[in-house]
Amino acid sequence: MNTPTAVARLTQEITAGLRAAALEDLYQDLHRHPELAFQEHRTAAKLAARLRAAGYDVTEGVGGTGVVGVLPNGDGPTVWLRGDMDALPVQEATGLEYASTVDGVMHACGHDLHVTWLAGAADALAAARARWSGTLVVVGQPAEESGGGAAAMFADGLHTRFPLPDVVLGQHVAPGLAGFYPHTPGLTMSASDDIDVVVHGVGGHGSRPESTTDPVVTAAYIVTRLQTVVSREVAAAHSVVLTVGQFHAGTKHNIIPAEARLALNLRTQDATVRDRVLRAVHRIVEGECRTAGCPTPPEVTVRPGYPNTVNDTVLDGEIAAVHRELFGPPTVLDFGPAMGSEDFSLLAPEGVPYDFWYVTSTPSAVWDAAPGAVLAEKIGNVPGNHSPLFAPDLSVLLPGWTASATRRRPHARTGCAGLGRMSRAGQTRLRPRRLPAVSFSLTRW
């Protein structure tokens, strides 16, 4: 019977021989050589080589720089494991011995760790073929940060060229005392939209503003007015973030420019609320431009990025149950939907269940030194994703990935389990227990 206890025991047996050194070398190499979205050629080649060596049928260049490895192993479910590969345009400031060697580029979101976990899972599962049956598909996804990687793989035939999944699994490194595994059934991550705004004015000499229509002033009013959208037009029960990330105008001190450009980002968790906020953005931009007497209507371009990520509740419960068996009940918690966004869900064909969870990675010394009496305060005071100081604890390398899928039986779901570690660590002094080896498995009936 495929109980959480049985799955946990089997995954420990399968991975008992896995050692941290092999994963650490790969991780540090990837961290030293980060590559931006759709430029992950070296990273993809590294992953592809490891998959081939483990016996996978490997296809490179899927969606640009994506990698897909397929390992058929008899009858059973098809499980997809996904890891994203791209880095960020961030100048690293960690001071690590294995810090980025690429100027202005860093694995500040932990995708090097994701690739390492993916490679470790692939190796362990391939070596344990006798213990499971089914098909394993390993997906190395490009360009998660730019929002186009999953869509590019889909457009390149991801769902027609490879075995379709029964489940899709993914995880993400996160801030928080290393060794905990946050799980959220249902809605777990927000939708994201980018909005580009162009304000058209009349340029001229800085000494004669009366002869111009100053787009800088108009854009400044727009920025200020946008701050009221969430506070005054969205009910308090809804979570929404509207951020002005860029404001560009002008080329010289004494020239009033002819246009100003704004770049906004919107995060929502409800489609109706999203539509309402977008209407408000249009109304405010157009209204301010009319009030200022702009000669040409403004341009407002909405670029949908990521959809909501909504975990299958039954699947998430199964995975979380195995996590509790492996690491102890206090290491699994639900901190609710995050305002962050992901394109992970685009990999799953319509109707296919998926689950996406987190692995916390803040070194204990950093966590203990951070001010804060409760969990939220602590997390806000340690380096998080996209920070130039983001440096996951190497202790999460081994316990970073577990996947277990059971063969579908009548009236039973495909079960899967993956790894992650953190309880209410900011509210208690609880410490996760360390395991000697990570666990990966596909369980055989």
Residues involved in catalysis: 86, 144
**Is 9 strand, coil or helix?**
helix
Residue 121 is classified by DSSP as H
| 200, 215 contact by CB (below 8 A) | yes
What are the C-alpha distances in Å from 229 to residues 16, 221, 222, 232, 335?
Answer: 54, 13, 11, 6, 26
- Rg for the chain, CA atoms, rounded: 24
> How would you classify residue 80: left for phi > 0, otherwise alpha for psi between -120 and 50, otherwise beta?
beta
* Interacting residues of 429 by C-beta distance below 8 A, sequence separation 6+: none
Beta strand 191-200 pairing with 299-306: antiparallel
What distances in angstroms separate CA 298 from CA 64, 199, 276, one per listed residue? 35, 5, 19
Angle between helices 271-292 and 215-233 (to 10 degrees): 150
26 closest CA partner among 2, 45, 4, 7: 45
* Strand ranges inside 201-329, DSSP E: 204-205, 240-249, 255-256, 259-268, 299-306, 309-311
The two structure tokens encoding residue 433 = 């227990």
Whole-angstrom Cα distance, residue 370 to residue 102?
29
